[in-house]
Structure 1
Amino acid sequence: MWRNLASNLFTLMVVLLIAAAAAVAWGKREYAGPGPSEVAQCVQVAPGASLNAVSQQLAEQGAISSAYVFRTGADYAGKSRDLKFGSYMVPPGASMEDIVGTITAGGPSTCGTEVIFRVGVRENNVILRDINPATGAYEDIARHNPADGAVPEAIAQAAEQADARLRFAVAEGVTSWQIVEGLKQAAFMSGEVAEVPAEGSLAPDTYEVDAGADRTALLNEMQARQTAILQREWDARPFGLPYASPEEALIMASIVEKETGIAEERETVASVFVNRLESGMRLETDPTVIYGVTGGEGILDRGLRRSELDTTTPYNTYRIDGLPPTPIANPGVAAIRAALNPAETDYIFFVADGSGGHQFSRTLEEHNAAVARWREIEAQRGEATDSPVQGDG
């Protein structure tokens, strides 16, 4: 009897051990294998959240197949207490092991609600964005121009969420004054700005900030980044360019930035102005004259007047030789690179071609013909002006 009982007990133990081993093997496969989600998932870890709460949330989202296996695997890996607050994007089919690694590594949030204050050339916008779960891509939920009044409640509330990503974005070609005015309007930032930084000294880019970030500190970061970009591009420049200093290259870059919004044209536009400098011709470019009129404070919503074109100022390149004394905007890295790496052409004229780009010419005869075509387009659109055309020498 005792012998049979011992034999049965041994058999049961073997069966249990085999079952346990199979369960462990299954758990390991589940933990390390592809996850059930067919779309990208935004995994949010709230401040102070427990592993149990996060695992239940992930199971409800369909990002994992088992909350228990998720917790057990995280505990076995020694990461159950390493959760980092934030919102993290995980790709389709991400394993539990991958998700644990992501939410315990920390770093900047990569998904979730975004509130972006964007400084544009013509207007500013506060943009509320969020992830579309079906596509894993960000989509605009709301957009507001601060000039239209108070920020809508939905955007203001989103900016106050603990896990919201806050960004301050600066478009290429805006002036330093426009950036400072934008910073003043960005309600999620703090601090006073004592003075407007030098024109051209701020790097256009998108900057992620924390709630209450200091405005002056962000300006300092923009200046440091622009200084580094300019020095890097200056050090890599080819020989023979008509710039006496990096500052002169920055001035040229700002003119290129304002003259064309077509990326493929930047080097060619730069070549026209370099050719003019080298031949002793005046630059004759409208954006510099406009800057002389506005001082970089706002935009000129009209054509240049003949009196403005005839008045000699430091920025009227129809009247002065060489470059204006300062940049006329904050150029992006592409415009800086174009100014320091102009295309090799013999163009000395260009004019709008009606498609958003420009017609480049080598001779005055070619240019006059291109100007005539542009004047016809202007007349058809009812946009004819008395001001010279861009690049018209």
Structure 2
Amino acid sequence: MADYKSGDTASWDFEQVRRSQSNSPARRSQSGGSGRRTQDSQPPANRRRRKKRHFNVVTYILFVLVTSAILAGVGWLLINDLCAFNKEDITATIEVTADDTIGSIADKLHDAGLIEYKWFFRLFATVADAKDKIGTGTYELSTEMDYRALIVGMHNSSGNLNSDTVRVTIPEGYTVSQIIKLLAENGVNTEENLLEAAKTATFDYDYIDNNSEDISRLEGYLFPDTYDFYLNEKASSALNRLIKNFNSKLDEEKLAQAEARGYDLQDIITIASLIEKETDGTDQANIASVIYNRLEGPGDKGGTYGMLQIDASLLYALPDHTGPITNEDKQVDSKYNLYKYAGLPPTPIANPGLASIEAALDPADTNYYYYALGKDGKHHFSSTLAEHNAFLNSGDYAG
């Protein structure tokens, strides 16, 4: 039998009586008959829950404040590293090899004390397209340089240990082959490397066919302009710079209008390239009108029926051709032979300038179906075959 004290029994009896009284109808009626508990009669468990909710709100506010302070502190540290604030003066020589990646370059910069946060530099370098700007070489860098300056300081010098530059002007109407030869002659890179890049490099533009290994995939998209290149610059980066410049010149609104008429970007640039190779420099819009009239017209203007009959396209298929086009040349079985095949050639035939691109997007409104070069160096346009033949038999035709 268990031990107990008489006081225990008394205490138990008292608690039982108190609970019985609290549950009696008379006891409940003392609350006012409304069925609601008074503040004094509220169960302790409810009071504990209310205190707990109050504690959670305070904790949440403290958490937000502490987290904000931490993030602000971390953000300030990252900004300091990004902008090269409050850094110890350090100068280091960094060697970049052909096998280096952005990650390994970040490791080298960190090990040299030039940056603090490798992951943040990698993130910045990705956004800044640093992979196309950093080349192999040995570079003198310092902590006075922010992230952007570090990347610029390691600019392309592939295969060479200097950062000398060369200015090259690419004429309007040059083909990809001509541009590559021009770049090679100016020391941008070797013709072999540039040709290889034109065939196999991946370019991040949906109008470039990265599955093709023919340099014609770049035809029309290397924008003619004046550029400053690094000597022995990475070949793919040099070509990518020309494509990027081309991309910046596109008029999206006018392209949308062209697509509504049934012409995509390649069609427009192909037409622009034909204009570029045919124009005397002042008549791009009129030549564009002839091309569109022949493509879209009924074909009753001397039986054109979509036949563009443009010499420049045939010559693209005959790169070694010299002298005037002959009737024999016009029998060559090539899709670029627009005497034999209707419609546009399979690719652009050159890299057009802005005036020719704009003319292809916004041709003149004419009834012209023909043009021929006069002795005055200007093209003379005709609406009918009879008018055209009359000019050809005149003394004004250049022959």
Q: Give the TM-score normalised by structure 1.
A: 0.49
Tell me which protein shows more strand as a share of its residues. 1
> Which structure would you say has the larger Rg?
2
Q: Give the TM-score normalised by structure 2.
A: 0.49
Tell me which protein shows more helix as a share of its residues. 2
